[in-house]
Amino acid sequence: MTDVQRSLVLVKPDGVRRGLSGEVLRRIEAKGYTLAAVELRTATPELLAAHYAEHEGKPFYGPLVEFMLSGPVLAVVIEGERCIEGFRSLAGATDPTVAAPGTIRGDLGRDWGVAVQQNLVHGSDSPESAAREIGIWFPELGA
């Protein structure tokens, strides 16, 4: 039985600013996942409030939202068997300083000395999150 999934990936403003959008897409495609949607977007406070609802109230929430509004993001929907887990594996640990070499965050990220972790990418963390997040960023794609 196959388990074809979709996941929401964001190249965050630091990744877009540093010209790494193509490198992230290259790694996704090299892994064998397909691109169902790719769009350069400017986030809004409303969209980010929905996207990061689970983090509301945490100390890093305000700086995180501010960071995500600091420039365009590349919003991407990827598709493939177990791509939710697979992209999390490609992305690496949240903290780019300790993310394993070979991962997007481990190879391309570092600590820039600012409060929020600028870690280049977001990836949905479960099928429920993926459905919710794709609904927020690409409502036209449906469930």
Is there a catalytic annotation at residue 122? yes
> What stretch of H or E contains 73?
strand 73-81
Candidates 94, 98, 110, 128; binder of ligand RTP (CB under 6 A) is 94
103 near ligand RTP, rule: CB under 6 A: no
Sign of CA dihedral 25, 7, 78, 42: negative
64 near ligand RTP, rule: CB under 6 A: yes
Integer Cα distance of 95 and 28 in angstroms: 20
Candidates 76, 83, 117, 133; binder of ligand RTP (CB under 6 A) is 117
Candidates 60, 62, 111, 141; binder of ligand RTP (CB under 6 A) is 60
Residue pair 76/10 in contact (Cβ under 8 Å)? The answer is: yes
Among residues 28, 43, 122, 130, which one is catalytic? 122
> What stretch of H or E contains 3?
none
Is 105 annotated as contributing to ligand binding?
yes
Nearest residue (CB) to ligand RTP, 79 versus 125: 125
Integer Cα distance of 143 and 138 in angstroms: 10
Is 26 annotated as contributing to ligand binding?
no
